[in-house]
Structure 1
């Protein structure tokens, strides 16, 4: 009789433990917090009157895009600092090297300047965390053709990029 009672108690204990295990709310390991820290430029080639940021997480834990906007509302000048990464596999430097003339940033990173569009200037590089970063400069929503007075020098874009390293 004692053996039957012991088996019954152990059976109820196992069932109870199984129910408690099923009822326990554990965090989903595929839904962990996504954290990134980026240095932003602080010295700009024109006065900034408005700043804002967009975050677009296309697929959690896979593709992230962060866009930092720096705007002068009076002159309609804007800089966008964009960083994006496919988290599962970092992009190759080869993927961005076809975007223009190569320059070297302060930490030795290769950056590529592109001015093929008459309305914008772009500097691309891959940062130490594997994010592809770019700074894009344009006026009035990318509708105004840049001339000698409104165009930034490559060195000004490089100075902005160096502030993010």
Structure 2
């Protein structure tokens, strides 16, 4: 008889705890703001015939990425201006120094020039809001090998980056 009473009491206790857990209103973690303002380049080293942008916030608590595309459909030249930030680790800055030669932007920001592939060129830097920013240049969907005629100078990439500061 005493054992039945203990089992019933434990059963009611478990049911009570389960109901209390369901009734407890726990706040959801706040969504980090996804509204950001970015300056875009306005003067390009080639004519722009189409521009569009993408916002990638599939994981709003992890990473925000914004991609601005600038295309010349006739020459198939394309620039991407990409800014992204890991929002759940605000103190973790990406080490972009691995991307190549170091240069300085107009506001003193350090930028790194990357030309590890023969089909693209890139300039990487950290912007003032903690975003990693980069400008990537390529031709025909990154399939044309860049030569002296169609390669951009590092200064042209720096000029584009300076327009975003």
**TM-score normalized by the length of structure 1:** 0.79
Is 1:109 aligned to 2:121, yes or no?
no
Cα gap change, 1:119 to 1:37, in 2 (>3 Å): same
How far, CA to CA, are the matches of 2:81 and 2:34 in structure 1?
Answer: 20
How far, CA to CA, are the matches of 1:66 and 1:86 in structure 2?
Answer: 12
Cα gap change, 1:78 to 1:39, in 2 (>3 Å): same
CA shift at 1:33, angstroms?
A: 4.8
Is 1:74 aligned to 2:74, yes or no?
yes
Tell me which stretches of 4 or more aligned residues in structure 1 moved more than 6 Å: none
CA shift at 1:61, angstroms?
A: 3.3
| Matched residue, 2:93 | 92
Cα gap change, 1:90 to 1:45, in 2 (>3 Å): farther
Contact 2:34 2:64 in 1 (8 A): no
CA shift at 1:92, angstroms?
A: 2.6
How far, CA to CA, are the matches of 1:121 and 1:106 in structure 2?
Answer: 20
| Matched residue, 2:147 | 147
CA shift at 1:116, angstroms?
A: 1.1
How far, CA to CA, are the matches of 2:127 and 2:67 in structure 1?
Answer: 15
Structure 1 residues without counterparts, runs of 5 or longer: 1-21
Structure 1 counterpart SS, 2:112: strand
